[in-house]
Amino acid sequence: MDYRALCILGGTGFVGHHLTARLVDAGYHVKILTRDPSRHRDLLVLPTIKLVRADVHDPATLKRELDGVGAVINLVGILNERGHNGSGFEHAHVELTRKVLDACRTNHVPRLLQMSALGADPSSASHYQRTRGEAEQLLPLTPDGMPATTVFQPSIIFGPQDTFINRFARLLKLSPGVLLLPCPGARVAPVYVGNVAEAFVRSLTRRDTIGRRYALYGPDVYTMRNIVRYTARMIGVHRAIIGLPDWASRLMANVMEYVPGKPFSRDNYLSFKAGGVEAESGLAALDIAPASLEAEIPNYLAADNQRGRYNRYRAVAGRFKESPP
């Protein structure tokens, strides 16, 4: 067994791109399972990356591809499902985790790192958070479990090519002077994608991470309203941000549930309602200094704005923060 050989599920996504680059820098050989390798050839510029055409939901394929690897990283997750009853979340989170565990045990893979989510809870009203919690319950979170597992529960992740800040930036540019914002008071502590990737990499060589869950937070707490206001300033647009009351946020979720792409779904609403920011981030336990929104956002929205404008906005950004998490 090659302990420097890893297999990643979900490695072609946003977090996967950043994580694979960091793993290659650390000297690992990385196999990424994907339905369509031709769509992700950009990853092949990394010297020790191998893209393998595979259906990760097929048990036989998983057992074949996990043979001989030293660790498996499961990044697979969805924020919305095609249907409305939770079966899509169940398939992506719970059923896949069960199959991955079975394949790891068949091949005696010693290590499994699992991406979960902040607020993962088997009793949650949100299908997303419920199935993330149910998937965690399948994992042997004990020091002597097989495979030895570590779970990461990140807050909203931001960074280049994210679907968080970039989505708000697009909406702000397209909105006709006014943006209606559901759940404006929801409190979040966004975490930088580079910090999340580093947490995964460090856990591979630290035995004290085995059997642990790590909640990953950024250094500052914001309301959704303040994040959108800050994004508007950063891209240089002036919009009235109208925060919707709870009943209107719920109504918008019920309507947008049936819009193609589900820009804001009932499950998104329930996740925001659950909220919650814990007192301590797992980044500190892993000796990782968290990067702030103000330090990173200018680096990937800079194409549309002048650098001097960013420097001025950084100076006033502090008033959008609430308090450290």
How far apart, in Å, do the first and last CA atoms of the chain sit? 41
Please count the CA atoms within 13 angstroms of the CA of 256 that sit on its side-chain side.
19
Distance CA 201, CA 24 (A): 10
Q: Are strands 2-9 and 69-74 parallel, antiparallel or unpaired?
A: parallel
Task: Say which DSSP state 289 is in.
Answer: P
Taking alpha carbons only, the member of 99, 52, 53, 54 closest to residue 74 is 99
What is the model's pLDDT at position 312?
Answer: 35
pLDDT digits (tens, 9 = 90+) for 152-204: 999 999 999 899 999 999 999 999 999 999 999 999 999 999 999 999 999 99
Tokens of 14: 């946003």
Q: Is the sign of the CA dihedral 218, 209, 89, 272 positive or negative? A: negative
What's the predicted TM-score (pTM) here? 0.91
91 backbone dihedrals φ, ψ, rounded to 5°: -65, -50
- Read off the pLDDT band of 311 (50, 70, 90): very low
High-pLDDT (> 70) share of the chain, %:
90
Distance CA 186, CA 182 (A): 9
pLDDT digits (tens, 9 = 90+) for 262-278: 989 999 999 998 866 76
